[in-house]
Structure 1
Amino acid sequence: MASRGTPDVVIGIDFGMTQTGVAYCTAPWNNVKRFQQWGAIVSEVANKVPSRIAYSTHTNGFKGWGFNCDFDDPDSEIQEFFKLYLDPEYRDDFDGVTNADAQRYYRDYLSLIHKHIVGFFNDRFPDFGSRAVEFIFSVPTTWRNPALIHDLEVIIRDAGFGRDGPRHMAKITLTEAEAAAVNVVADYVQRDDVICICDAGGGTTDVNILKLKSAKGQPIKLQPLSKVEGAAVGSALIDIRVQQYLEQRLMTAAHLLNASPQEVAEKMMQGRFERFKCTFGTSAANLPALVLEIPSMPAGTNYPPADIQNSRLSISQTFLQKLFDEQVDAMIRLLTEQLVSLQTVVPGERVSYLVLSGGLGSSQYVRDQIKQYFQFGAGATLSNTAGMHMLLAEDPQLAVVLGLVTDRAQELGQQTKTITHRCARVSYGVVVNRRYDPQKHHSQVPYKDPRDKKLWALNQIEWLIREGDHIDDNGVSKHVRAKLQKAQLNRPWRAQFVISTEKRDNLPSDLTSQSVKTLCIVEADLRFIDRIAKNAHWWQLGQKYELAEFDLKLVAGSADLRFQLFNNGRLITGENESVAVDWGSGAPVMDQKEYFDIK
Structure 2
Amino acid sequence: MPTPTFSIKSCETVAIGIDFGLTCTGVAYSIDSRQPIAIQKWPGPEELVNKVPTKLWYRAGCKKPVGWGLQCPGPRDLERGMDVVDCFKLYLEPDLIDGLESSPELGFFRENVHVWYIDFLTALREHIVSHIKTENPEEVVRDWALIKVKYIFSFPTTWLKTSMVATFKSLVLAAGYGACPSHSVEIKTTEAAAAAVYSAKNFKKQRLISGLNGGEDKASSEEERLREGDVILVCDAGGGTTDVSVVKVNSIEEFARQGDLVEEVLELSQVDCVKGEPVGSVQIDQAFQKNTEDRLEQLDWSNKDNRLSAKEIAHDLTKAEFQDIKKGFTSNVHSEIPVTMLRIQSIPKDCNHQGAGISGGRMMVSNDDIRWMFNQQIDRIFGLIDYQLQKTVEELEKVTHFVISGGLGSSEYVQQRIHERYGRGGEGKRILISDDPQLAVCKGLVLDRIHHVKHGYSMISTRSSRFSYGILYNKEFTPSISRRRPERVEIDGKYYLVDQIHWLLKRGDPVKHRKPISEKFTYVFPGNAGSSGITWIDSVAMSRAYSDSLPEAINRGDAEIIWHIESRASPQTIEKYSKPVKKKRWDLGHAKGKPHGDDHVIQYEVRLIIRSTYVKFEVWVGDVRVGFSDEILAVWQYRSDTEGLHERGPRNPGNRGRCAE
Distance (Å, rounded) in 1 between the aligned partners of 2:124 and 2:414: 31
Contact 1:20 1:51 in 2 (8 A): yes
Aligned match of 1:220: 265
* Structural mapping, 1:557-568, within 5 Å: 557-568=611-622
2:14 to 9, 16, 23: 9
Asked whether the 8 Å contact 2:292–2:314 carries over to 1, the reply is yes
Deviation track 1:75-122 (CA, whole Å, cap 9, x = no partner) reads 334333343443457799999997776555333322322232233345
- SS of match in other structure, 2:409: coil
Distance in 1, matches of 2:456 and 2:402, equals 26
The aligned residue for residue 155 of structure 2 is 139
Task: Name the counterpart of 1:79.
Answer: 85
Partner residue of 1:477 out of 515, 518, 525: 518
Amino acid at match of 2:124: I
> What does the per-residue CA deviation read over 1:232-290, in whole Å, with 9 as the maximum and x for residues that have no partner?
22222212222233333344556544234443322211232112112222545654344
Aligned match of 1:351 in 381, 394, 399?
A: 399
Instruction: Give the corresponding residue for 1:312.
Output: 362
**Alpha-carbon distance change, 475 to 17 in structure 1, aligned in 2, over 3 angstroms:** farther
1:10-58 Cα offsets, whole Å, 9 max, x none, are: 011011121110000012x2321111221157x5432101122344565
In 2, are the aligned partners of 1:56 and 1:63 still within 8 Å (CA)?
Answer: yes
Change in CA separation of 1:569 and 1:38 when aligned onto 2, cut-off 3 Å: farther
Partner of 1:383: none
* 1:403 shift after superposition: 1.2
In the alignment, the residues of structure 1 paired with residue 365 and residue 525 of structure 2 have an alpha-carbon distance, to the nearest angstrom, of 70
In 2, Cα distance between equivalents of 1:567 and 1:211: 37
Distance in structure 1 (CA, Å) of the matches to 2:146 and 2:345: 50
Which residue does 2:246 correspond to in 1? 209
For residue 546 of structure 1, report the CA deviation from its aligned partner. Answer: 10
Letter in 2 for 1:561: V
The answer to whether the aligner puts 1:579 opposite 2:630 as a matched pair is yes
Cα distance in 1 for partners of 2:97, 2:536 equals: 37
Q: Which moved more, 1:29-38 or 1:83-92?
A: 83-92
Contact 1:203 1:237 in 2 (8 A): yes
Preserved contact between residue 59 and residue 66 of structure 2 (Cα < 8 Å) = yes
Q: Does structure 2 conserve the Cα–Cα contact (< 8 Å) formed by 1:448 and 1:454?
A: yes
Q: Could you tell me how far apart the structure 2 residues matched to 1:161 and 1:439 are?
A: 59
**Equivalent in 520, 542, 550 of residue 498 of structure 1:** 542
Q: Are the aligned partners of 1:53 and 1:66 in contact in 2 as well (CA < 8 Å)?
A: yes
1:411 and 2:415 correspond: no
**Structure 1 residues 570, 162: CA separation in 2 closer, same or farther (over 3 Å shift)?**
farther
Paired position in structure 2 for 1:591:
651
TM-score (norm 1): 0.82
Larger Rg: 2
> How has the CA–CA distance of structure 1 residues 531 and 491 changed in structure 2, closer, same or farther, with 3 Å as cutoff?
closer
**289-298 or 149-158, larger mean C-alpha shift:** 289-298
Corresponding residue number in structure 2 for 1:294: 344
Q: Mean Cα displacement is larger for which, 389-398 or 331-340?
A: 331-340
> What amino acid does structure 1 have at the position aligned with 2:282?
A
Question: Contact 1:356–1:391 (CA<8 Å) still a contact in 2?
Answer: yes
- Bigger shift: residues 393-402 or 184-193: 184-193
Equivalent pair of 2:338/2:366 in contact (CA under 8 Å): yes
Q: Does 1:276 align with 2:291?
A: no
Is the contact made by 1:480 and 1:551 (CA closer than 8 Å) also made in structure 2?
Answer: yes
Q: Which of 247, 264, 269 in structure 1 is aligned with 2:313?
A: 264
**Cα offset, 1:390, TM superposition:** 0.6
Which amino acid in 1 is paired with 2:410? Answer: S
The CA distance in 2 between the partners of 1:365 and 1:52, in whole Å, is 26
Looking at structure 1, the residues matched to 284 and 98 of structure 2 have their Cα atoms a distance apart, in angstroms, of 13
DSSP-derived class of the 1:299 partner: coil
Q: Confirm or deny: 8 A CA contact 1:352 1:387 kept in the other structure.
A: no
Partner Cα separation in structure 2 for residue 243 and residue 62 of structure 1: 26
Which sections of structure 1, spanning at least 5 residues, go unmatched?
A: 1-5, 381-385
Q: Quote the residue 1:67 is aligned against.
A: 70
What SS does structure 1 have at the residue aligned with 2:252? coil
The CA distance in 2 between the partners of 1:201 and 1:174, in whole Å, is 16
Residue of structure 1 equivalent to 2:213:
none
1:250 and 1:261 in contact (8 A); partners too: yes
Q: Is the 8 A contact 2:465 2:505 kept in 1?
A: no
1:178 aligns with 2:176: no
Taking a change above 3 Å as real, the CA distance of residues 323 and 562 of structure 1, as seen in their structure-2 partners, is farther
Contact 1:145 1:559 in 2 (8 A): no
Inter-partner Cα distance in structure 1 for 2:612 and 2:62: 40
Q: 2:461 aligns with which of 415, 421, 427?
A: 421
Q: Secondary structure at the match of 1:526?
A: strand
Q: Is the 8 A contact 1:299 1:311 kept in 2?
A: yes
Structure 1 residue 338 displacement after superposition: 1.3
Amino-acid identity (%): 27
How big is the shift at 1:334? 1.4
Query: What is the deviation of 1:177?
Result: 1.9
Deviations for 1:455-485, whole angstroms, at most 9, x for unmatched residues? 4435543322221324232332333556899
Structure 2 partner of 1:434 = 474
Q: 1:117 aligns with which of 128, 143, 149?
A: 128
**CA distance in 2 between partners of 1:228 and 1:455 (Å):** 41
> Aligned partners of 1:83, 1:326: CA distance in 2, in Å?
22
* Partner SS, residue 391 of structure 1: strand
**Residue 359 (structure 1) shift:** 1.2
The structural deviation recorded for 1:391 is 0.7
Tell me the number of residue pairs that the alignment of Structure 1 and Structure 2 aligns: 570
The code of the aligned residue for 1:360 comes to L
Shift of 1:67: 1.8
SS of the residue corresponding to residue 239 of structure 1 reads helix
Is the CA contact (8 Å cut-off) linking 1:459 and 1:511 kept in structure 2? yes
Deviation at 1:509, TM superposition (A): 3.0
- Return closer, same or farther for 1:130/1:549 CA change in 2, 3 Å cut-off: farther
- Secondary structure, in 3 states, of the residue corresponding to 1:300? coil
8 Å contact kept, 1:17–1:83? yes
Moved more, 46-55 or 477-486: 477-486
Using a 3 Å threshold, how does the CA distance of structure 1 residues 302 and 107 change in structure 2: closer, same or farther?
same
Name the aligned partner's letter for residue 243 of structure 2: D
Q: Secondary structure at the match of 1:314?
A: strand
Report how far residue 183 of structure 1 moved. Answer: 1.4
